[in-house]
Amino acid sequence: MKSKFRHVALIGKYHANVSRGQSDLLRRVLEDIAHFLSGQGCDVMIERETAANASISGYPMLDVAGIGTQCDLGLVVGGDGTMLGIGRQLAPFGVPLIGINQGRLGFITDIPLENFRATLTPMLRGDYEEDHRSLMHAKVMRDGHCVFDALAMNDVVVNRGAISGMVELRVEVNGHFVANQRADGLIISTPTGATAYSLSAGGPLLHPSIPGWVLVPIAPHTLSNRPIVLSDQTEVAIEIVSGRDASANFDMQSLASLLHGDRIIVRRSAHSVRFLHPRGWSYFDTLRKKLHWNEGGS
């Protein structure tokens, strides 16, 4: 039985600052996977930056827009950071993604590299679970003008400066004043990001099917400030009231420097990311493995 997916793109480590050894390893891994995919009847393309970073040749190279318009599957080899970067870019095209993890099991790159053949064979034939993850669309507004625009799959984080004290943030939800928070910062997290920075700051876990966000203060001055779960149909606005060198991070992969009076407006994006998982995949299985639940138990 031939693959359900005809045109498959391979995407690897999504940055140029990899060592020679990492580049050689990535090339060997990608060539191994590409050979396997060809044997399954797939036409294999390599994402352009991946090909340059891994010095791989012999396959057509495509930029992200080309993958979005010409491929019906993306295979991401790396970790969750790699998947976050490419997931945001491919979301407008609706291309489904499968994650192969080179190191420790990831939350969204959940197929161990050593098992990729056995795991991918039935998936390529259509035997998989599909999982959609929402995105946030954030804008930084200054004097009525948008000075920064970004998508986020995990979170939008407003932080104080590295050497400054707390920031004071005015928080509004759907135009209604919530509070002025004095803290090291504030996280607005999707369910996908609930296992990232939000979790380390004391936020709750949110199942990916929940259409919600969580607002999590970072080291708040007032101990009664607690995480709040909101509908993802709301608009959240954060205004910088005071504090030096504040910034906004989007999935910790893009950064905007902020001034007093700047407003970060966060809405749900019209786009979502499509993940494919092996048949029988469970969010709770991933949580147990990643968070080391039940270790030492019977």
Q: What per-residue confidence (pLDDT) applies to 13?
A: 74
Asked if 7-126 and 135-270 have one fold, the answer is no
pLDDT averaged over 10-residue windows placed end to end, the chain, 298 residues:
88 68 83 96 95 90 97 95 95 97 83 94 96 97 96 96 86 97 96 96 95 96 91 98 94 94 98 96 91 73
Fold of 7-126: Rossmann fold (3.40.50)
Q: What per-residue confidence (pLDDT) applies to 238?
A: 98
Q: What per-residue confidence (pLDDT) applies to 298?
A: 47
What is the reported pTM?
0.92
By the 8 A CB rule, do 151 and 271 touch? yes
Segments making up each domain of the chain, as ranges: 7-126, 135-270
If phi > 0 it is left, if psi is from -120 to 50 it is alpha, else beta; for residue 173 that is beta
Q: Which CATH class is domain 135-270?
A: mainly beta
Query: Quick check: helix, strand or coil at residue 107?
Result: coil
Q: What per-residue confidence (pLDDT) applies to 16?
A: 53
By the 8 A CB rule, do 141 and 239 touch? no
Residues carrying an active site annotation: 80
C-alpha distances (whole Å) from 114 to each of 102, 105, 110, 249 are 9, 11, 12, 34
Q: What per-residue confidence (pLDDT) applies to 1?
A: 59
Q: What span, in angstroms and rounded, lies between the C-alpha atoms of 47 and 49?
A: 6
Helices 20-39 & 116-124, crossing angle to 10 degrees?
40
